[in-house]
Structure formats: C-alpha cells, structure tokens
C-alpha cells in the first residue's frame, strides 16, 4: 500500500509505513520502507534515522545517497559532501554511485559552487550523450539544469533535448504511472492470531489420547488372531500325537485298520492252507 502512495500522497504513505514499523520494527525492509517514505514526505530527520537503522541492520550501502540527501535537507550540507566523498561511497555499484554524485552536485550547487557541481557529474563515465542507462534521463536533466545555472544555455538546451531521446530509447513514457509490486501481503492487514501454548499442549494431549485409543483397538483386533493361532497349534499337536500312537500319517495317504480285523484275516488264511 505504502509503495503505491509514494507519489500520490507521500504523507499517507509515511503513515502506512509507521503502522508497519510498530509490528516489525526490527525487520530491515520495514525500516527501509519507513525511511524512504519519510524522505518523500520531506521528513528528513525521520528518514535519516530510519535509513541509518536499516543500514546498521542489513549492512547494505544501497541507500547512502538518500542518507546524504537527507543530511542536505536538514541543512547539513558539509556533512553530506563528506559522506558523498567517503571511501564507502567510492565503492558503490554504478547506479547507486550515479545517485550519490547527483546528490553531491546538488550540495555544491547549494553552496554556489557550480563548477564543482558540474565536475561531480562530469566525473561519471555514464554521462554519455550517445548512451542511455535506466538512470540517464534523470542524470541528463540534472546536468542540463546545472549548465543553465552556469549560463551555458546552448549546452543546457542540447542536454535537455537528450532527456526525451533517452526516455524514448528506454521505452519510458512521460505520463506513465509508476508501479510497485508488493512481495508480501499488505502490512496493514490484520495478522493471524498466533497459537497459544495452552492450545498447543491441549492439541498434543488429544493427539496422544487418540494414538493410545488406536493402539488399544489394534490390540483387541490382534487378540482373536492369537487365540485362533493357539487353537490351530493345539489341533495340530493332537493330530501329531494320534499319528504317533496309530502309526498313521495323513500326508502318506494311509488308512488306520483295526487289529482284530487283521487277526481274523490271518486265521482264515491259515485254515485254507491247512485244508489244502
């Protein structure tokens, strides 16, 4: 929300970021958002404080130009120049370095040192009349303004025309609405209520009770199987005992025969042989 309001209503954007900071004051990106919104709203003391805090938390030098310009906005121009010319600023990445040199040029201009202001921009290799970077329109415009202030009107007009040429080359339209993609849900929406420790303990206890009940049910289901197995084992044992006593094994396909029946057959055979 704050990002979409920066150009339309910087003051309201600042209020949104303040609301976010009350919830995530130790989050680097939140402090950065507050600092940037404060800068756009002209609250330079707040922007200086928040952007310094962001730098301390994150270790990033990306916002050094805004810190320097906030110092400038507070009237501490010499301090801003000192920061812009420090070793920290010398090692900035190209796009950030260009922004810092623009701030430095503005500081020299505030002091009436137009030659030094122009020199600050002319030291940039990106100040190339025939090449356009994403920051070139802004760089060309500031340079043209300084040239005009220095009385070099023809050169100023030439660079002023080149601003629109660079914008067309980069596909930037004059009336294009700026947009910002939110990478996280709106900070001003209600946060979900965090679970309480008591709720977590209760839920864990309920889970344990359910697990115990399931274990008991499993034991009850397993008991009949065990009894059935015991019955089958007993039956097998009785069968084996009977086989040992009678000499009969079902797997051999033998049939038990009565002993009296065998004796009578032997007697009959003996009588027949005697008769013969």
Beta-carbon count within 10 A of 119 CB: 14
The SS3 assignment for 206 reads helix
| pLDDT of the residue at 26 | 76
Per-residue pLDDT of the chain (276 residues; tens, 9 = 90+): 444 555 555 677 767 677 767 776 678 888 999 999 999 999 999 999 999 999 999 999 999 999 999 999 999 999 999 999 999 999 999 999 999 999 999 999 999 999 999 999 999 999 999 999 999 999 999 999 999 999 999 999 999 999 999 999 999 865 444 433 343 444 444 444 444 444 544 555 555 556 555 555 544 444 444 544 555 555 444 544 444 444 444 444 444 444 454 445 545 555 555 554
| pLDDT of the residue at 209 | 56
What are the boundaries of each domain within the chain?
1-60, 64-178
Residue 113 is classified by DSSP as -
Beta-carbon count within 10 A of 99 CB: 21
Domain 1-60 identical in fold to domain 64-178: yes
Query: What contacts 102, CB < 8 A, 6 or more positions away?
Result: 65, 121, 138, 139, 142
Evaluate whether 16 touches 32 at the Cβ level (below 8 Å): no
* The CATH fold of domain 64-178: 1.25.40
Q: What string of DSSP letters covers 219-274?
A: HHHHHHHHHHHHHHHHHHHHHHHHHHHHT--GGGT-----HHHHHHHHHHHHHHHH
Domain 1-60 class, CATH top level = mainly alpha
Whole-angstrom Cα Rg for the chain: 47
Residue 22 backbone phi and psi in degrees, to 5: -70, -20
């Amino acid at each position: 929300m704050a990002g979409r309001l920066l150009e339309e209503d910087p003051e309201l954007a600042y209020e949104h970021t303040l609301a976010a900071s009350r919830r995530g004051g130790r989050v680097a990106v939140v402090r950065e958002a507050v600092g940037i919104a404060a800068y756009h709203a002209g609250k330079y003391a707040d922007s200086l404080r928040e952007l310094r805090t962001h730098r301390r938390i994150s270790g990033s030098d990306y916002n050094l130009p805004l810190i320097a310009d906030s110092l400038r906005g507070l009237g501490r121009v010499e301090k801003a120049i000192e920061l812009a010319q420090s070793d920290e600023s010398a090692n900035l990445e190209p796009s950030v370095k260009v922004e810092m040199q623009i701030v430095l040029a503005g500081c020299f201009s505030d002091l009436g040192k137009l030659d030094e202001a122009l020199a600050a921009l002319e030291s940039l290799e990106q100040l190339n009349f025939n090449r356009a970077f994403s920051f070139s329109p802004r760089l060309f415009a500031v340079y043209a303004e300084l040239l005009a202030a220095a009385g070099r009107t023809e050169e100023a007009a030439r660079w002023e025309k080149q601003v629109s040429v660079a914008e067309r080359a980069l596909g930037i339209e004059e009336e294009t609405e700026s947009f910002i993609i939110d990478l996280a849900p709106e900070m001003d929406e209600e946060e979900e209520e965090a679970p309480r420790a008591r709720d977590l303990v209760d839920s864990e206890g309920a889970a344990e009770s359910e697990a115990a009940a399931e274990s008991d049910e499993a034991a009850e289901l397993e008991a009949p199987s065990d009894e059935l197995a015991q019955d089958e084992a007993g039956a097998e044992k009785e069968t084996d005992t009977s086989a040992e006593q009678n000499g009969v094994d079902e797997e051999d396909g033998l049939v038990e025969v009565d002993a009296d029946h065998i004796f009578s057959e032997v007697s009959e055979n003996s009588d027949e042989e005697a008769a013969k």
